[in-house]
Amino acid sequence: GVTAPKISGVDKELLEKKKKAEEAEAAKRKAEKERVQIAKVENCARAKQINANLSSTTRLFQMNEKGERVLVDDATRAAELKRAQSVIDTDC
């Protein structure tokens, strides 16, 4: 049987495509990592702000779903503080 001669141009092109795909994938992973990092920084800042607000004010009001100002009770405040603290622990 006659074996067809290998055309080196095709192989080279295939390798180039593979390399480009790998580079694109690496760039995508890097961008995702950076996006996560930025989100963490923002979450951290927001959580610290919430923590500071909850800790500093003696009476705290929140808007309910009707848009009315309601006093936040100690249990809710403690839960919010705990949630903010857990974000600070993981993202800061």
Q: For the chain, what is the mean pLDDT?
A: 86
Which pLDDT does position 6 carry in this prediction? 60
Query: pLDDT of 61-92, one tens digit each?
Result: 777 788 888 887 888 888 888 999 999 999 99
Query: pLDDT of 28-58, one tens digit each?
Result: 999 999 999 999 999 999 999 988 888 776 7
| This prediction's pTM | 0.55
Per DSSP, the residues of the chain read -PPPPP-HHHHHHHHHHHHHHHHHHHHHHHHHHHHHHHHHHHHHHHHHHHHHHHHH-SS-EEE-TTS-EEEPPHHHHHHHHHHHHHHHHHH-
Which pLDDT does position 23 carry in this prediction? 96
Average pLDDT over residues 17-26: 95
